[in-house]
Chain A
Amino acid sequence: MDLTFSEEQDELRKVVRSFLTKHATEADVRRLAADPTGYDPVVWRRMATEIGLQGLAVPEKYGGSGFGYVDLGVVFEETGRALLCAPYFATVALAAETLLRCDDERARGDLLPGMASGETVATLALTEENGRWDEAGIRLTAHDKAGGWRLTGVKTYVLDGHLADLLLVAARTPSGISLFAVEAEAPGLARTPLPTLDQTRKQARVEFTNTPARLLGPEGAAWPALERTLATASVLLAAEQVGGAAAALDAAVEYARIREQYGRPIGSFQGIKHKCADMLVEIESARSAAYGGLWALDAGDETETAISAALAQAFCSEAFTKVAGDNIQVHGGIGFTWEHLAHLYLKRAKSSEVLLGTPSYHRELLAARLGI
């Protein structure tokens, strides 16, 4: 196992960062945060066609480039750093991963190429009003009727659910948890955008009324695949959180270098310097947590992945929130304004913290997986 980044991965980072520096500027983030759609389809298309970001880790036979999870982690670190406003996490970390893990070769062949090429925006609809990320939280039901499966019930907190072309839906059937694909135009589908605290990442409530759906994989067998998907997504979210935290620290350090009080830069005072140092300790520790998960994913070690994924979410969630909060403190009064970027990182951090389950939930998952 290689525990360093290769030159190619360093190069990938440069390319992605340079792309996002141009196409996910502060002005873009602010514009899209205020826009109910929340993403720029032109940039989305260029992400796919110019650097192949949507298909990066999708196997070549489904139209992707077949890179590994460490590579994908590099990309998520950069999208997190830039606060990219796009359905990237929903499509790549949730939907594509769900398909890759569910036992349905035909569905993969049908659906993955569109996601890899950037034509399809997709998401995973799992959570309901109870906000749970476990098997027991899934209540929405599916019925097998003449003419196929139909879904009835409500999903909410669905990432980019109002704009996705394709929704992968976890539902309950008489045999257990099953997975379904629902097209955006399906009858009986009602989608309502939810006003979000973190305006850079959109969520929706999705109502299904006798909505036709395509069963993916064997009926009743979806939970193990979903659990693996959530572990993978947890690691990728951790990488994104590391990137966001690193950007917040960069901003704090930059400000502490130039802002003068009492006749000298505030960064020369130990009160500020030590706070910044502690932020870096958090970030480097979070990196270790996230990278450990990426290595386990690339090594194909499921036990290790499950453990390091829960660890990564428990640790990186809190690290990002802590660092984003400290960034506001270092900035002082200006950091508390709407005009400054700092609050956007704090809100992204807080919403990421619960996006795939709270840190407490992940600590419990970790304890269970370790047999503690």
Chain B
Amino acid sequence: MELDFGPAVRDFRDELRDWLAEHLMGEFAEHRGVGGPTDGAAWEVRLAWDRELAAGNWLGVGWPREYGGRGLGLLEEIVFEYEYARANAPYRATGNALDLLGPMLLAMGSEAQKKRFLPPILSVEELWGQGFSEPGAGSDLASVRTRAERDDGGTSFEGTSRPIGVESGGEWVVNGQKVWTSFGIHADWLYVLTRTDPDSRRHKGLTMLLVPADQPGVEIRSIRNLAGQDEFAEVFLSDARTDADMVVGEVGQGWRTAMATLGIERGTTLLPQQLAFEREAEALIGLARERGALDDPMLRRRIVDAWISVRIMRTTNLRTIAELTAGRAPGPQATTAKLYASTRHQQLGHLAMELAGPAGQIVDEDYALDTRQRSFLLSLAETIYGGSSEIQRNIIGEQVLGLPKEPRP
């Protein structure tokens, strides 16, 4: 099944295909298919590739022109993701700002925030880290403890120069710890969910703040993931400061801002990932053929099931895209897709390792992993990030099926 949305979109697609064919060369081509939301491999090349994309004005296809985007619609965004994945281009290093922060600012940011922050995202001049999770609050975001207090003396802002340049008459002082910040070690800025009302509980009294990372109050340490990569970071905030007008949305309404952001994440962003899974399944069939594994009835069955899984992921995604582009609210499959894809991708990883056999035990110098090893290990994160599978099941049970909530203590 090919996506086709008519002549105008076809022109856009052709332009993109030509551009990718022309620019996905040399070092970039060698790193085709590298990366994923939790894959820290080939960071420098991927960052350079993002800058190449930025130079071609391909980042923010759907963002308004005044902030550096192309001002196109949902169809073009989908086609972009689809063609991008089809070309097997490296996973974008700045995905976090493009897929989460940018859309969040577009939806809930002030005009000054949009003008100040969106263009440098699209030109890859400023990198962002997400500060939602905490050591004591993984999936349970409402138990955030990082505190932010107003300091209206406003004397000690020592970060970069006033970020927006408007005299706002005050600052926020932030204290706490964040963790699992993807690629946080590279961040120039953080978007941080904080508790601004010390007496508040759960999702009340939270505020979303934009905090400069380059200041004495911010310390970022990388944490190695199980694949041996410096993929995520822990962030220590000790009297870190940010300007009063760095609140996204309203003070005390941070929960709404965060939820809107995560809602965006679960939209069309699954598409490129699933095309990558399809490619993995195809490669796996090739490997199985090479190893003569297709004659083994047990393996053969698992291989066919792997193919079935990726095909179902694709169709599920096309259903959601079709509903979105028809202006309809997506059906329940939009909510079940992540659980299905993450579970099935892990099975694919196990199968790949089994097919690799003893060769799968050997890694390169400096614990450099091959595609299959990386995919197998990193797939373990897919049932944790973006809401763990257990949380997904609660969401499906309560929000889609209407089952009663668990009594809260």
Contact = CB atoms under 8 A, between A and B. Distances in A.
Interface of A: 1-4, 249, 253, 256-257, 264-265, 267-270, 272-274, 276-278, 280-281, 284-285, 287-289, 291-292, 295, 304, 308, 311, 314-315, 360, 363, 366-367, 370, 372
Nearest to A263: B407
Given A265-B404, A267-B404, 12 more contacts: A4-B323, A253-B402, A268-B406, A276-B401, A277-B336, A281-B396, A284-B336, A288-B315, A289-B315, A366-B307, A367-B303, A372-B303
Contact of B401 (A3, A277, A304): A277
B405 A268 contact: yes
B397 A277 contact: yes
Contact of B403 (A273, A288, A292): A273
B78 to A, nearest CB: 12
B319 A276 contact: no
Given A288-B315, A370-B307, A274 B397 contact: yes
B403 A311 contact: no
Given A1-B1, A314-B308, A372-B285, A276 B397 contact: yes
Contacts of A253: 401-403
B312 A285 contact: yes
A372 B323 contact: no
Given A281-B339, A311-B311, A274 B393 contact: yes
20 contacts: A4-B322, A257-B404, A264-B407, A265-B403, A267-B403, A273-B403, A273-B406, A274-B390, A276-B396, A281-B340, A284-B340, A287-B333, A289-B315, A292-B315, A363-B301, A366-B304, A372-B285, A372-B289, A372-B300, A372-B307
Interface of B: 1, 4, 285, 289, 294, 300-301, 303-305, 307-308, 311-312, 315-316, 318-319, 321-323, 326, 328, 331-333, 336-337, 339-340, 390, 392-394, 396-398, 400-407
A363 B303 CA distance: 10
A277 B312 contact: no
B333 A276 contact: no
A315 B312 contact: yes
Given A267-B403, A276-B397, A285-B312, A372 B336 contact: no
A280 B402 CA distance: 12
Contact of A367 (B304, B339, B393, B406): B304
Contacts of B322: 2-4
Contact of B312 (A272, A288, A295): A288
B404 A280 contact: no
A264 B405 CA distance: 10
Contacts of B307: 366, 370, 372
Contacts of B332: 280, 284
A295 B314 CA distance: 14
A270 B336 contact: no
Contacts of B403: 253, 256-257, 265, 267-268, 272-273, 276
B63 to A, nearest CB: 26
A311 B336 contact: no
A178 to B, nearest CB: 32
Given A276-B401, A280-B401, A270 B333 contact: no
B394 A273 contact: yes
From B318, B332, B401, name the one whose CB has the most chain A CB atoms within 10 angstroms: B401
9 shortest interchain CB distances as A-B pairs:
A3-B322, A273-B397, A267-B403, A277-B396, A288-B315, A277-B393, A284-B333, A268-B404, A274-B393
B394 A270 contact: yes
A33 to B, nearest CB: 29
B1 A295 contact: yes
A367 B401 contact: no
Nearest to B392: A277
A277 B403 CA distance: 10
B396 A280 contact: yes
A367 B407 CA distance: 48
A179 to B, nearest CB: 30
B1 A267 contact: no
Contact of A285 (B328, B331, B340, B398): B340
A184 B405 CA distance: 58
A4 B404 contact: no
A363 B305 contact: yes
Contacts of A370: 307
Contacts of A315: 308, 312
B127 to A, nearest CB: 35
B5 to A, nearest CB: 11
A2 B333 CA distance: 17
A277 B399 CA distance: 10
B1 A289 contact: no
A267 B323 CA distance: 30
Nearest to B331: A284
A3 B319 contact: yes
Nearest to B316: A288
Contacts of B323: 4
A291 B340 contact: no
B336 A280 contact: yes
Contacts of A4: 319, 322-323, 326, 328
A163 B318 CA distance: 42
Nearest to A264: B407
B318 A3 contact: yes
A285 B304 CA distance: 16
B327 to A, nearest CB: 10
A263 B302 CA distance: 43
Contacts of B1: 1, 292, 295, 304
A243 to B, nearest CB: 15
Nearest to A289: B312
Contacts of A308: 311
A3 B407 CA distance: 40
Contacts of A269: 406
Nearest to B289: A372
Contacts of B316: 284-285, 288
A270 B406 CA distance: 8
A349 to B, nearest CB: 19
Contacts of A268: 403-407
A4 B328 CA distance: 9
B333 A288 contact: yes
A360 to B, nearest CB: 8
Nearest to B300: A367
A16 B321 CA distance: 27
Contacts of B339: 277, 281
A284 B312 CA distance: 10
A268 B336 CA distance: 19
B304 A363 contact: yes
A267 B311 contact: no
A203 B316 CA distance: 35
Contacts of A366: 304, 307-308
Contacts of B400: 277, 280
Contacts of A2: 322
Contacts of B285: 372
